[in-house]
A = this chain, B = another copy of it.
Amino acid sequence: MIKITKEDFNLEEEFKKIHSKKNGAYSFFLGTVRQDIDDNINGIFLECYEDLACNQLNKIKKDSTQKWNLSDCTIIHRIGDLKISEKIVLVITAAPHRSDCIEACEYIIDTLKANVALWKFHIKGKEKEPVNQKKKDLDKYLSWSQVIS
């Protein structure tokens, strides 16, 4: 399942949707709004080009399912205003064996961060400041090019 939503989600409920007796291994990545010590923020705002982002997420799901032989995969991304410590993004990968789902889960979050039409803003008082892309996120994504191609 691919979902872009303003709503919060529950990890146990999302697991139940993907849970199957044919799988022995599930890997989850959960990103939340971190209280940065250096950079005092009240929360974040997430902007999305939804039609494009859905296409991009579906392509990531398809590529990773083929490459790692996943049984299934969930990607949920929140949009809009989020407070400190709220959930932002959830990736769940399911497979018969663990190495596949662990590697695929990391690939998915790394690719999402570098390649899906979502933009983060720091909320400081009434201001929303666009967050710059981190070089290390781009480098991490590029490091997969040998694995996936």
Contact = CB atoms under 8 A, between A and B. Distances in A.
Interface of A: 10-13, 15, 19-35, 37, 84-85, 96, 98-99, 102, 105-106, 109, 140
Given A99-B140, A106-B102, A32 B19 contact: yes
A4 B24 CA distance: 19
Contacts of A37: 22
Contacts of A21: 33-35, 84-85
A32 to B, nearest CB: 6
Contacts of A24: 31-34
Given A11-B12, A25-B30, A102-B105, 20 more contacts: A10-B12, A12-B13, A15-B30, A19-B32, A21-B34, A21-B84, A22-B35, A24-B34, A25-B29, A25-B31, A26-B30, A26-B31, A27-B27, A27-B29, A29-B98, A34-B96, A98-B109, A99-B140, A102-B106, A102-B109
